Amino acid sequence: MSKGKVVLAYSGGLDTSCILVWLKEQGYDVITYLANIGQDEDFEAARKKAESLGAKKVFIEDLRTEFVEDFIWPAVQANAVYEDRYLLGTAVARPCIARRQVEIARREGAQYVSHGATGKGNDQIRFELTCYALYPEVKVSFMDANLMHISECVPLCVFQSRAPADLYLMTKNPEDSPNVQDVLEIEFKKGVPVKVTNMNDGISKNTALDVFSYLNEIGGKHGVGRIDIVENRFIGMKSRGIYETPGGTVLLKAHLDIETFTMDKEVRRIKQGLGIKFSELVYNGFWYSPECNFVRHCIAKSQENVEGKVQLSVLKGQVYILGRESPKSLYNEELVSMDVQGDYDPCDASGFIRINAVRLREHHRLQGLSSTKQ
């Protein structure tokens, strides 16, 4: 007699295969689920293995488009970077994978979900919080090489040992990358890339998945987006992470540029704070929380006029912005130019400065002259 159905996030690897067998032996009907978010994987081999190990059903789900559209695009809009450096590749994949797992569990009438994430990783938290939020049941297993980037936890002596070269799967070593740059033109609408064109050869992509995959390809070819960092995990520990996020890095730079070009500076200042909040929430596993919903809504609102084209070159691990244009630009050439008068009257500037100085002069008068050298 079955103890019930369990949906297991299955990778085809040793860990989750063991979990599969163990769950079966415990008397559960095991449904395996493998999400395709762009990782390099033999999905059919995994299916056969799962079946041979006794899975009642096997789901292999192509989530690539919804991963890019529903999870990566909001991160691009947010300029999402955790602790100034990490582009949240793994962190945005977890809620995407867990969301489908929970949908399968509901549909199949399974009361259990299972995963193989270790207790110390952030991924356990991200997975489980998503599951609890969307369907109140249990444990989920994880796999890690995904479309957006590849991460490796390297619990080694952090100083002397550099990351081994073969750790990187998506990006060329910049030393070995081509000496000729690719020049790309990326077009944005509402803060999201809608088209990329390679100015060298005219190749062009215009679906979410194609655009992102192509940027991964070009970025990877030029060694863009490798980082070796020590990060602060949610649970309060520091750990070293080696990440590669080629397409995400190209997009971050391009989006920053078109956003600054088209968005009012004071709106951007508020939005910048919301973006930092978004990054923390996503890193910590709270994608499906009321506050993250709220922040995503506000950020999306801020992107309404983030529209236009950015030209950039990619070479030897670097992305260089070459120029930008937009129908919604706040950049007023006449205003900036020295020769043409817009609303700006140079005489007003002196009054502006003196009014700003009223407070400073009062303050320093009060402090006495001691502050001159402080």
Residue placing its CB nearer to its own copies in the complex, 45 or 237: 237
Give 362: exposed, middle or buried? Use CB within 10 Å, 0-12, 13-18, 19+. Answer: exposed
Q: How many residues bind its own copies (CB under 8 A)?
A: 122
Give 373: exposed, middle or buried? Use CB within 10 Å, 0-12, 13-18, 19+. Answer: exposed
| Residue 159 sits in the site that holds its own copies (CB under 8 A) | yes
| Residue 45 sits in the site that holds its own copies (CB under 8 A) | no
Give 321: exposed, middle or buried? Use CB within 10 Å, 0-12, 13-18, 19+. Answer: middle
Pair 104, 245: CB distance under 8 Å? no
Q: Mark residues 191-230: x for contact with its own copies by CB under 8 A, - for none.
A: -----------------------------------xxxxx
Residue of 125, 128, 126, 118 whose CA lies nearest to 155: 118
DSSP character for 28?
P
Minimum CB distance to its own copies, residue 329 (Å)? 8
Which 160-189 residues touch its own copies, going by CB under 8 A? 160-162, 174-175, 179, 181
Minimum CB distance to its own copies, residue 239 (Å)? 5
| Residue 333 sits in the site that holds its own copies (CB under 8 A) | yes
Q: Is 156 left (phi over 0), alpha (psi -120 to 50) or beta?
A: beta
Structure tokens, 105: 């569990």
Minimum CB distance to its own copies, residue 44 (Å)? 28
**Sole binder of its own copies in the list 31, 93, 102, 211 (CB under 8 A):** 102
Structure tokens, 364: 């320093």
Which 235-294 residues touch its own copies, going by CB under 8 A? 235-240, 256-257, 260-261, 264-274, 276-277, 280, 286, 288-291, 293-294
CA 237 to chain centre: 21
**Sole binder of its own copies in the list 2, 52, 370, 374 (CB under 8 A):** 374
Q: Residue 253 and residue 267: Cα distance in Å, rounded? A: 19
Q: Residue 112 and residue 134: Cα distance in Å, rounded? A: 13
| Residue 155 sits in the site that holds its own copies (CB under 8 A) | yes
DSSP character for 82?
B
Q: Mark residues 297-326: x for contact with its own copies by CB under 8 A, - for none.
A: xx--xx------x-x---xxxx-xxxxxx-
Segment contacting its own copies (CB under 8 A): 1-9, 39-47, 52-60, 113-121?
Answer: 113-121
| Residue 18 sits in the site that holds its own copies (CB under 8 A) | no
Segment contacting its own copies (CB under 8 A): 22-30, 50-58, 142-150, 350-358?
Answer: 350-358
Residue placing its CB nearer to its own copies in the complex, 22 or 344: 344
Q: Residue 169 and residue 126: Cα distance in Å, rounded? A: 24
Residue placing its CB nearer to its own copies in the complex, 41 or 257: 257
**Sole binder of its own copies in the list 109, 343, 368, 370 (CB under 8 A):** 343
Structure tokens, 97: 């994978």
Minimum CB distance to its own copies, residue 246 (Å)? 13
Residue of 250, 214, 198, 234 whose CA lies nearest to 94: 234
